[in-house]
Amino acid sequence: MAAGNWTAEWKILKKNFEAKTGKKKPKASVTNIIGQSNLSPTLKKCDDAYNKCESAKSTKKKISALKDLISNAAKFAKLSDSYCLDVKKAIVSAGKDMVLMNELDILRKKLQSVKATMASKIRSQDAAIKKLNIWEKMARDMRIDLTGALKRGALFAAKVKSSPTHDVWNSGIQTAARDITQQIGNVEKIRAKDYDIPGIPQKNAGAIFRKMTPWASGDVIFQKDTLPATILSERMDYLKTIQATAKWMDS
């Protein structure tokens, strides 16, 4: 997921949804109640603000752009949470249409992952303004960054469920898993530098890292003739590890 390119990603996702289901995405009835039915304008403002943060040549300009990003990200979070209620209703109404249910689930998980990624990027920009060193930044933001990685991992798992093919799995599993292991793998290193990591348990980070490592290292790659059932089984193991990691964070 490329930060600062969220509008284009959402547009592509909507097109894919229509191509797969033959239907338009659910109407934004709940979202419309709060005054806006279209997510794209707010996403565009988030893109613009983030890209201004990245390219700002002065601290003053970066601070100004970050304020815009925080404001628009908060608006997007409200809109996306509301729209997810519409998607949830559509999932219930889908009945036995598994294709529709899967694609609706992808829409929902995409919005959740974008919201979490925005939160993580806001913290990164704030760390740059405050000139935090890398260890301070990682310790302070570990939980937010890992939450974003888990949301993106869940989105990848949903895409595999929708299209359990070797190319979908092979093209995304390493990135999705490394996104998580890069966070988990730093836990002990950060603590060795005498930094506390708010919201991260003291034990068992290593066990999660080891479980996720084969996927992150590219050891689980499928051939063209691999049966969908085999890919779906591996996908379930991966998804359970994501769920276990989220549960571990709250332990």
Q: Which of 239, 133, 147 minimizes the C-alpha distance to 199? A: 147
Q: Which of 115, 218, 230 minimizes the C-alpha distance to 171? A: 218
DSSP state of 24: P
Q: What is the pLDDT of residues 87-141, one digit of tens each?
A: 999 999 998 999 999 999 999 999 999 999 999 999 999 999 999 999 999 999 9
The CA-atom distances, in angstroms, between 23 and each of 13, 52, 88 are 13, 36, 16
Q: What is the pLDDT of residues 11-40, one digit of tens each?
A: 999 999 999 999 999 988 755 545 555 789
Q: Which of 228, 151, 138 minimizes the C-alpha distance to 190? A: 138
pTM: 0.93
Q: What is the mean pLDDT of residues 38-49?
A: 92
Q: What is the pLDDT of residues 141-186, one digit of tens each?
A: 999 999 999 999 999 999 999 999 999 999 999 999 999 999 999 9
